[in-house]
Structures are given as structure tokens and as C-alpha cells.
Amino acid sequence: MVPAHQQQRHRDLGKDRPGVPVHLRQRLDADIRQRVAPSGEPAPDQMPEPPAQPPHPVRGRDLLEEGRAGLGEPAGAERLTEPAVDGLGPLGDPPGGADEGEVTQEVGVERGEAPPGPVLLPGPGASWAAASSTTTPPRHCPLTASPTRYVANQRQTEQEAMSTHIDQLEAVIARDRSKVLDWSDKAVQPAWYGRSIAEVAKARPKLDELSTPMMTLDRRAIDENLLTMSRWCAQAGLSQAPHGKTTMAPALWRDQLLAGCWAITVANEPQLRVARGAGVPRVIVANLFLRPGGLAWLAGELAADPGFEFMCWVDSAEAVQLMDAALSAAGAQQRVHVLVEVGNSHARTGVRSLDGALRVADAVVSAPTLALAGVAGFEGSVAHEIDAKAIADVDGFLTRMVELHRRLLDRYEVRDAVLSAGGSAFFDRVAAILGPEDGTRGPVHTRIVLRSGAYIVHDDGYYRTATPHARGSGPAFRSAMHVWARVISMPEPGIAYLDAGKRDLPFDQGLPELQVMRRTGPDCATTTHPLVGHELFDTSDQHAHVRVPAGSPLRVGDVVRLGLSHPCTAFDKWSLIPVLDDASAETPVVIDLVRTYF
């Protein structure tokens, strides 16, 4: 059962958002309640279109577990009856003397027996398909008595720890909101100096009182995006670990966790420190993590906090050895969970061949400080277009991930393995190809973890054309970020200059678009006008260059709303971002300010 105080927290979701419309809050609350309800099945009438996926025998139970796990409830309640086994616990023999044999008996598989069920997929790439099944036998360190070494879930303590961490995250956000504002953030208005974020939010200043340029978030759009993605993933049987590097905003990570996300993903050690400092309970570093000092710090964090769950990626035996040496030297008390990263020729990191991936897995199994916990990859680095070839390449890549995962089912050193992929462009393909692997096969329960991060804010550029919805096969999102800029000069016909430039706007994946103008008259009344045919064609450090069509209503002094492309390079330009109740309202008001930590 979800503890009463947590149920209350989920019931309360949205109550601290005065600008969120009641109907949306109710929908969000109902959604969360559904996730903690004993039936666990979302109401079919509220579902966006499902991804193509064959039925899976354990889906119903897993959906419930998904909801529970995302909300801090221990997944797999029946597993709580299994004896505690070493895993997240200290290296060496399991506590209480439970040995490896006992563990494998518990999960019903003879040691060395291949798990039932999996049928190997044909490998699409020659090197991958041609990989031989004979791999170097693992060297066993004295602390690993068996090639299959399961890791305890420690669900009982995790439940308490997860709830403590959400409290910690709330406390960090509350601390941020209580800090006194001053000139040091470009979003802070002189009238706000000496006041806290909470005080400013309570006063609900109007958008038209803000200086330009100014990036804002749209609370209504964020909540809709959160809800839409949570529902879609729940129906597809996917757990979410959204990439936190998009926003680097603990307040938005908190919203994602409360909407049911299972973990937060980050890209490197500094970002991990932010996630950890903010109190995120479960973090994936979707990357290699090799710095000895960083690993020593991580070992200390894991030892100090049994509720903290962590995993990162490895793609070579060298990386495994570096990690193992650093963790051993640091006297690590807990194994660090690692996923073998599948790569692609000319893409980023990741093992290029099946043989190579199996060798990396062997190296992990041989490393006393590491636990082999799954397979990961990023299909977004495989395809740069969104055409049929791109889909075929992505499908081939994901199929190779599945093949490796199936080959590792009897090697994993955890009972809950992770199979993780997914940016925001091809997550429908992740659902279709990785989705059927969800559930229990032999000794291992597989969790499919989707890392799409941009969905929470979406955009009016790259992602508008790149998400599955644009191909007619996924949920629809709405851009929740804008920059407001002022027309400061129209020095020649057909040209206008705005006071926002490269310092304020993303420009790496397409330039912003002009959407709406606002003009405040001497009587302080504001009129708005949609803008059609205006083209922002260049940016310099502090200016945007705009081509203005004949007959444009635009005048010097008007404020325009810019739709942006690529949230990752928008957020990093703003350390404090006002949150509007609704950016499309006639008179939007600021209901909060979100701090980012880049």
C-alpha cells in the first residue's frame, strides 16, 4: 500500500499551483489516484493512442508496479517475502548468510540454466549478427561466487527512503523559494529586490510588468505535457527517467517525479551532484562516469544513504577497470550498478559489436565493485533525419539492444534489470521494440526505461516537427517556453530589431518564430495581435533581426512573443525563469519562478 502521507501528497498535487486551472488539477489528481489505485489500470477513455505493441502477459501487474514505483511504493510486493540478499548492500556474502544458491532457488531458476522465453532476433548489422555466442569466460573475483548474482531490492527501506528524498527535494525547492531576490538574476525586477520567490509568486505580477528580454514558462502547458506523457507511458508499459539536463531545474524534476516518473537522468558528474544535492532519489547517469575522485564521492553517497539508487553506463573493459579500481581504492561499500551501452558506427559512445558488448558485460561481472544491471543506448544519436531511413536505422539499433539484453538475462546481477533508450524523437519506436521486453523472463524482471526529457516543455521548432506526433504516432505536446522581446528599432522598411539575442535565445536547432505582439497603451490597457509572415532571420549577441511584411502592425515599443526551438539550449541561458499561469491568456500573470542549475 502507498503510505497514507504519500497518498495525501499525491492527492495534493497541484494545490500549491494557484494558476493551474481546477479542471486540470482534478485531471492530474485523478491520474495520480489511478496510479495508486488497487486496480492500477488507467481509464481507457482518458488514453491517447497507444503505441503498437503486442500484448504482454505481465502488463497489468507491471502497470500497477509502475505507478507504485514511480510514487515511491515498492514494486513487486510479492517479492517482499523473499529473503534479503546482498546487492545494494555491502559487497561480499549476503547478510544473514543467504548464499547464491538460495537466491537462484527463490527466483525459480537453476544456476546456469538459460532463462525461458527469449527468442534471439536476427542481428541487423553484420558485426552484431555475426557475433559468436562463445565469450571469454568471466574471471571471478573472490567476492562473486557465481556468474549470476542477484541484488536485493531492499524494498522496505527503499519505501521510507524514497519518501524522505521527495521531502528533501521539496525542502530544497522551498529553500530556493524563500531566498531573497536581488540584481544577480536577469529575470528579477527592481520591484522584487528584497522579496522572496514565494512572496513575488503570491503577489502575482502581470507579464506586462516584466522587463525584456524575458523567458517564461507556461504552467498550464507544462501540466498538460506531464499528464499526457505519463498516461502514454503508463499505457505503453514504460517507466520514465526523463533527461534532467533539458531543464536542470529541480522544481520541474519534482513535478516529473510526482507525475509518476521512476528516475531522473543526467549526463555527467556535475549534473549528478545537482540531482543528488537536490535530493533526487534515483538517478541515471546516461554516460560513462570515470573520474576516480567522482567515483569515490559516489561511493560515499551510496554508503551514506540506502535509499539512493544510481546507475551509469559502460562501453569498454577499460572503463570497467577504471571504475573498479577507483571504487576499490575508495573502499566502496556498495556495488555501483552499470548498464552496457550499445553504440552505432559514427555515432557517440557505446559498444559497436555484440561480441564487444558481451566482453564488456563479462568485465562487469568480474568487477567486485560493479553490478551488471541492464542495457542502454540512445537511438537519437543514430538518426539525424525523421524519414523512413531514419526509422529503419533506429529500429535496427533498438533491435540490437534487445538482442544484447536477451543474451544477458542470465548474467545480470540484479533481479530488476533496466533496458533503457529514448529521446523525444523516436520514443514510439522504443515502445514498439523495447516495450515487449517488459516483464519477467526467467530470473529477471525487465523494466523498460524511457529517457525522453524535452517533452515537459516541448518547443515551437525542432521538437514540433520531430516528436512521434508529427509522424502521427504519439501524444501531442504544447510548447511551454517563450521569450518576450521588445521592438527597439525599425530603422529601414521591412526590418525590425528586437532586444533579445544569442544570450537569451536558443539558436542551434533553428531560430525563434514571432507569434504574437502585445502593445500597452498610455491607459495601461494591453492589446494583442497575432503575427503572421514575420521572420526572425538572424541573431547577434543582444539583438534579433526580423523581416517584417508589408502591412505589419508592429511598431517600435511593441513586445513580441517568440516561440523557441530546442529547450536544452534555452534553459541554460536563464538561471531564474518566471512561470506564467497561461502564456496564451489575455493577461498572463507570474505564479512562480523556477531556478535552474547549469
- Interface residues with ligand PLP (CB under 6 A) are 243, 246, 286, 378, 380, 423-425, 451-454
Choose between 286 and 433: whose C-beta lies nearer to ligand PLP: 286
| Under 8 Å between Cβ of 65 and 392 | no
Q: Least CB distance from residue 380 to ligand PLP, whole Å?
A: 6
Choose between 246 and 353: whose C-beta lies nearer to ligand PLP: 246
Which DSSP string do the residues of 183-213 spell out, in sequence order? Answer: TTSTT--GGGTT-BHHHHHHH--BGGGS-SS
Torsion of CA 346, 240, 301, 138, to 10 degrees: -50
Taking Cα atoms as reference points, which of 314, 284, 257, 268 lies closest to residue 420?
284
Q: Least CB distance from residue 572 to ligand PLP, whole Å?
A: 13
34: Cα within 13 Å, side-chain hemisphere: 21
Choose between 484 and 571: whose C-beta lies nearer to ligand PLP: 571
Q: Least CB distance from residue 394 to ligand PLP, whole Å?
A: 13
Strands, E assignment, 224-281: 239-240, 264-266
Strands, E assignment, 241-289: 264-266, 282-285
| Under 8 Å between Cβ of 401 and 374 | no
Residue 335: other Cβ atoms inside 10 A: 29
Choose between 82 and 379: whose C-beta lies nearer to ligand PLP: 379
Q: Least CB distance from residue 390 to ligand PLP, whole Å?
A: 14
Q: Least CB distance from residue 271 to ligand PLP, whole Å?
A: 12
User: Who's near 143: CB < 8 A, 6+ residues apart?
Assistant: 91, 92, 368
C-alpha span between 129 and 399 (Å, rounded): 11
Choose between 260 and 453: whose C-beta lies nearer to ligand PLP: 453
| Under 8 Å between Cβ of 71 and 10 | yes
Q: Least CB distance from residue 373 to ligand PLP, whole Å?
A: 16
Choose between 196 and 381: whose C-beta lies nearer to ligand PLP: 381
Q: Least CB distance from residue 218 to ligand PLP, whole Å?
A: 18
| Under 8 Å between Cβ of 204 and 591 | yes
| Under 8 Å between Cβ of 540 and 505 | no
Q: Buried (b) or exposed (e) across 524-561, using 16+ Cβ within 10 A? A: eeeeeeebeebebeebeeebbbbebeeebebeeebbbb
Provide the 8-state DSSP code for 137.
P
Q: Least CB distance from residue 592 to ligand PLP, whole Å?
A: 23
Choose between 453 and 461: whose C-beta lies nearer to ligand PLP: 453
Choose between 454 and 579: whose C-beta lies nearer to ligand PLP: 454
| Under 8 Å between Cβ of 19 and 219 | yes
| Under 8 Å between Cβ of 324 and 91 | no
Choose between 221 and 548: whose C-beta lies nearer to ligand PLP: 221
C-alpha span between 399 and 119 (Å, rounded): 12
Burial class (CB in 10 A: 0-12, 13-18, 19+), 146: middle
Which DSSP string do the residues of 103-124 spell out, in sequence order? Answer: HHHHTT--TTPPPSS--PPPPS
Q: Least CB distance from residue 453 to ligand PLP, whole Å?
A: 4
Q: Least CB distance from residue 386 to ligand PLP, whole Å?
A: 12
Choose between 418 and 454: whose C-beta lies nearer to ligand PLP: 454
Q: Least CB distance from residue 323 to ligand PLP, whole Å?
A: 18
Q: Which amino acid is at 548?
A: V
Q: Least CB distance from residue 342 to ligand PLP, whole Å?
A: 12
User: Who's near 175: CB < 8 A, 6+ residues apart?
Assistant: none
| Under 8 Å between Cβ of 428 and 51 | yes
Output the residue with the shortest Cβ distance to ligand PLP.
423
Choose between 281 and 343: whose C-beta lies nearer to ligand PLP: 343
Choose between 13 and 342: whose C-beta lies nearer to ligand PLP: 342
User: Who's near 556: CB < 8 A, 6+ residues apart?
Assistant: 487, 488, 489, 490
Q: Least CB distance from residue 490 to ligand PLP, whole Å?
A: 36
Choose between 353 and 452: whose C-beta lies nearer to ligand PLP: 452
